[in-house]
């Protein structure tokens, strides 16, 4: 089953981003670990990891407020 990322802006609305698919969760997570800074700079606030259409988890790309 393919893994992919969905992207949201700060308002929670879908935003466009790279249309990548991965053969495993580990591959998808490795890729996001390498590209999250560029995605964040492009306006992506949250990424959602999908296995087919099932949401595995959501993750913020925003810095933690202190």
Distance, CA of 26 to CA of 9 (rounded, Å): 24
Enter the tokens of residue 39: 């995605």
What is the pLDDT at residue 66? Answer: 63
Q: Can you give the pTM of this predicted structure?
A: 0.91
What is the pLDDT at residue 40? Answer: 95
Eight-state DSSP code of residue 65: P
Taking only the tens place, the pLDDT of each residue in 12-48 is 999 999 999 999 999 999 999 999 999 999 999 999 9
Distance, CA of 15 to CA of 35 (rounded, Å): 16
């Amino acid at each position: 089953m393919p893994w992919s990322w969905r992207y949201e802006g700060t308002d929670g609305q879908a935003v466009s981003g790279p249309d990548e698919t991965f053969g495993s969760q580990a591959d998808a997570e490795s890729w996001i670990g390498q590209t999250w800074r560029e995605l964040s700079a492009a306006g992506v606030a949250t990424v959602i990891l999908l296995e087919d259409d099932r949401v595995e988890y959501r993750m913020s790309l925003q810095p933690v407020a202190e």
